[in-house]
Amino acid sequence: MHVVFNLAASLDAALQQAAVACGLPEASAFAPEVRTADPRHGDYQANGVLGFAKARKLNPRTVATQLVAVLSPAVCESFDFTVAGPGFINFTLRPAALRAWLDAHSSRDALARGGSAAAPVAGQTWVVDYSSPNTAKQMHVGHLRSAVIGEALARLLAFSGARVIRDNHIGDWGTQFGKIIWAYRRHLEEAAFARDPLEEFERLYKVGHAAAEADPAVLKEAQQELVKLQAGDPDNLAIWKKIGDSSLSAFQQIYDQLGIRFDHTLGESFYNDKVAQIYRELTDAGLATESQGALVVFHPEHPRFATQPFIIRKSDGAANYASTDLATVLYRVGHFHATGVLYVVDSRQRDHFDQLFLTVPKWFAHTGRTAPELKLVEFGTVTDAAGKPLKTKSGDNIKLKELLAEAEARAFALVGERSAELPEAERHAIAAVVGVGSVQYADLAQNRSSDYIFAWDKMISLDGNTAAYLLYAVARIHSIFRKLGLTPGGNATEAGASGLETPAELALARQLVKFPDALQAATTQLRPHFLCLYLYELAGTFSAFYNADKVAVDDAPVRARRLLLCARTLLILETGLDLLGLKTLQRM
RNA sequence: GCACCCGUAGCUCAAUUGGAUAGAGCGUCUGGCUACGAACCAGAAGGCUAGGGGUUCAAGUCCCUUCGGGUGCACCA
């Protein structure tokens, strides 16, 4: 029996063929709309007959019955189906078809081949613009979501066959550097700098900022430092470089914990010499005009941006983030040949990106270029229980370094409770995976658009839709194989497996074959929570199976088929968690 | 003032973009370890989807409106 990776998509195609075969009027306009179904109704359901029939004054049930009568032999072999309700077609996979899918998808490579076979992004080049902190400041909780969500999306796109370019668009060219350099020259504490350069730069910024606030003469001096820096003064450039280097190495420690590795770190300074071309082209195209001394773009067709300007050059002649973001688009198209760009940013920047996305197509059209697809992947704010932006008690931003350290400490305490018998070094290693994974997963599991309430108890919790629950399922499966001295997915382990039979076995197999749907939903909609939800349900279905049917039974064919289910569950859980950016464990 | 986002069980969140009886977890209650990890499982209770109107075979989802919350709006990104 031949089975494809994405069964829903294959049913969709089969129904379209059937529409032609049974001579439906306007058959080419028929969209079957096959989706995974509530288990009460089967494995997949086609909803499209209703709308199609209604619009042509046909009886939906009659149309559905006609379609079903001419379904291809391949579909009939794999599925049972019925016409139900007002005109739904329900499909239920036969056990042999479930088994065939599981046999055909026994490795990560097989899953990846399936995932990229029909994916729209396969072969395309996508730049993912995420994380993007400012230098001279430590990363704080506000930087968490972009990093975590961006990394997951980058992995998902790559798994679907896209060429992915991870670009950390750091803020390394702002006005803050004048104040830092001013303070660096006067108030640097060598010992503190040696201990943690970034913390010292952060302190120097506060010193410089306060001094400039208090004394206009200082402000002037700081501005002079900035002018010197921008004019290429070697001393100031050296200080600026030092700030950048120490910032990047501090960022890298966080990225290492989160499993993030960028291909490029091209910050605002990189585009410093590329903005003049932007001013010129936008002006020549008639898009940019002078207003109140600034160079701005209006969009007359838009209700708000007809009057709310997109400022691409400040009235003092300096670039701002609109200038550099425009230059960045051009670079990514010209240099990386990007099909599109994902901007993983806080939803408060919506206006800016709406304006950017309105400007780029007009600009590219005027200059005879093909505009890339620009997509805003926006996310809500991280808040406390009261719904206010998360801060420390003293009102500062919570440092990411400290947040991750606390997550590990909480996980370590938990591992001590549950698995005191493991060596301490292993407990620490486990705590690192569980702690950081919990933070990542709690963020990813929720629909990114909404604000996100940060709560340790919910996050590090052992049950519910959490990282620990999923990691536990993974560890338990590894444990089965370890006890039996077998390798997951090994040919010998699964040889002679009999057909799937018990309700728990079948339920687990049904859940496994729906991985492609979750993968597709998460990737095309750029919403990792669809994958999280799926993996959580898979882990739950596995636990039910594990409780209902003993794996290590004496009956060899039964044991082999249950080991096969264990191995596929493990494969999909580990693949899925890896796509989300989480590490997994063999013991915990 | 203008614009955008949001309001789902006591709490935290889903609902495959208009599909069938709105689902999970936490908390509460009842059961299950001399079987492979109980960090688990089986079950119960809990809802006028903020209120009102509309669109259609079908609305938590789309349109209008009221109320409540959040965010953005001339040079910080």
Measured at the CA of A348, the angle between CA A345 and CA A351, to 5 degrees, comes to 95
Query: Is A395 part of any domain?
Result: no
What is the distance between the alpha carbons of residues A43 and A7, in angstroms, rounded to a whole number?
A: 10
Same domain, A37 and A156: no
Our measurement of CA A380 to C1' B54, in angstroms, reads 32
Q: Report residues 499-518 of A contacting strand B, contact meaning Cβ closer than 7 Å.
A: 517
| Residue A133, pLDDT score | 95
Our measurement of CA A314 to C1' B75, in angstroms, reads 5
Q: Considering only CA atoms, which of A265, A264, A290 is closest in space to residue A279?
A: A290
Query: Is A101 part of any domain?
Result: no
For the segment A450-469, the average pLDDT, to the nearest whole number, is 88
Q: Which tokens sit at A508?
A: 């687990």
Q: Which residues fall within 8 angstroms of residue A186, CB to CB, at 6 or more apart?
A: none
Question: Exposure string (b/e) for A406-426, b if CB count within 10 Å is 16 or more?
Answer: ebbebbbebbeeeeeebeeee
Partners of A80 in the β-ladder: A92
Q: Report residues 188-247 of A contacting strand B, contact meaning Cβ closer than 7 Å.
A: none
Distance of CA A61 to the CA centre of its chain: 41
Whether CB of A13 is under 7 Å from strand B: the answer is no
| Residue A395, pLDDT score | 80
Same domain, A25 and A41: yes
Our measurement of CA A351 to C1' B13, in angstroms, reads 28
If pLDDT is split at 50, 70 and 90, which confidence band does A176 have?
confident
Our measurement of CA A382 to C1' B70, in angstroms, reads 13
Q: Report residues 16-35 of A contacting strand B, contact meaning Cβ closer than 7 Å.
A: 33, 35
Nucleotide nearest to A318 (CA to C1'): B75
Same domain, A216 and A142: no
For the segment A271-296, the average pLDDT, to the nearest whole number, is 96
Same domain, A254 and A273: no
Q: How many domains does chain A have?
A: 4
Q: Considering only CA atoms, which of A438, A472, A461, A462 is closest in space to residue A542?
A: A472
A1 has pLDDT over 80:
no
If pLDDT is split at 50, 70 and 90, which confidence band does A412 have?
very high
Nucleotide nearest to A541 (CA to C1'): B41
Our measurement of CA A151 to C1' B13, in angstroms, reads 23
What is the distance between the alpha carbons of residues A308 and A560, in angstroms, rounded to a whole number?
A: 67
Same domain, A165 and A213: no
Q: Which residue among A258, A287, A321 closes a domain? A: A258
Which protein residue's Cα is closest to nucleotide B13 at C1'?
A: A446
Q: What CATH number is given to the structural domain containing A155?
A: 3.40.50.620
What is the distance between the alpha carbons of residues A314 and A323, in angstroms, rounded to a whole number?
A: 9
Nucleotide nearest to A422 (CA to C1'): B37
A386 has pLDDT over 80:
yes
Q: What CATH number is given to the structural domain containing A23?
A: 3.30.1360.70
**pLDDT tens by residue, A106-152:** 999 999 999 998 899 999 999 999 999 999 999 999 999 999 999 99
Residues comprising chain A, all counted: 588
Under a CB-based contact definition with an 8 Å cutoff, are residues A400 and A144 in contact?
Answer: yes
Same domain, A514 and A378: no
The pairing of strands A163-167 and A125-129 is parallel
Query: Is A146 part of any domain?
Result: yes
Whether CB of A544 is under 7 Å from strand B: the answer is yes
Q: Which residues fall within 8 angstroms of residue A369, CB to CB, at 6 or more apart?
A: A333
Query: Is A434 part of any domain?
Result: yes
Our measurement of CA A385 to C1' B13, in angstroms, reads 14
The pairing of strands A452-453 and A382-383 is parallel
**pLDDT tens by residue, A230-271:** 888 999 999 999 999 999 999 999 999 999 999 999 999 999
Same domain, A43 and A76: yes
Query: Is A40 part of any domain?
Result: yes
Same domain, A165 and A204: no
Partners of A209 in the β-ladder: none
**pLDDT tens by residue, A505-549:** 999 999 999 999 999 999 999 999 999 999 999 999 999 999 999
Nucleotide nearest to A566 (CA to C1'): B36
Q: What three-state secondary structure class fits A389?
A: strand
Our measurement of CA A303 to C1' B65, in angstroms, reads 22
For the segment A436-446, the average pLDDT, to the nearest whole number, is 95
Q: Report residues 387-446 of A contacting strand B, contact meaning Cβ closer than 7 Å.
A: 387, 414-415, 418-419, 430, 434, 445-446
Query: Is A498 part of any domain?
Result: yes
**pLDDT tens by residue, A338-374:** 999 999 999 999 999 999 999 999 999 999 999 999 9
Our measurement of CA A521 to C1' B62, in angstroms, reads 22
What is the distance between the alpha carbons of residues A80 and A93, in angstroms, rounded to a whole number?
A: 6
Same domain, A316 and A231: no
The pairing of strands A373-379 and A340-346 is parallel
Same domain, A527 and A443: yes
Q: What CATH number is given to the structural domain containing A456?
A: 1.10.730.10
Query: Is A564 part of any domain?
Result: yes
Q: Which residues fall within 8 angstroms of residue A357, CB to CB, at 6 or more apart?
A: A374, A376
Parent domain of A82:
7-93
A462 has pLDDT over 80:
no
Q: What three-state secondary structure class fits A226?
A: helix
Whether CB of A554 is under 7 Å from strand B: the answer is no
Whether CB of A59 is under 7 Å from strand B: the answer is no
| Residue A518, pLDDT score | 96
Report, in ranges, which bases of strand B sit under 7 Å from a protein C-beta.
Answer: 2-6, 12-17, 19-21, 24-26, 32, 35-42, 56-58, 69-77
If pLDDT is split at 50, 70 and 90, which confidence band does A585 have?
very high
Whether CB of A47 is under 7 Å from strand B: the answer is yes
For the segment A462-487, the average pLDDT, to the nearest whole number, is 93
Greater model confidence, A491 or A233: A233
Our measurement of CA A449 to C1' B53, in angstroms, reads 29
Same domain, A311 and A374: yes
Nucleotide nearest to A350 (CA to C1'): B72
Query: Is A516 part of any domain?
Result: yes
Mean pLDDT score of chain A, rounded to an integer? 94
Which protein residue's Cα is closest to nucleotide B6 at C1'?
A: A450
| Residue A240, pLDDT score | 95
Q: Which residue among A382, A416, A449 closes a domain? A: A382
A391 has pLDDT over 90:
no
Same domain, A254 and A372: no
A164 has pLDDT over 80:
yes
Nucleotide nearest to A455 (CA to C1'): B12
Nucleotide nearest to A417 (CA to C1'): B39
| Residue A109, pLDDT score | 96
A313 has pLDDT over 80:
yes
Q: Considering only CA atoms, which of A331, A150, A139, A166 is closest in space to residue A248?
A: A139
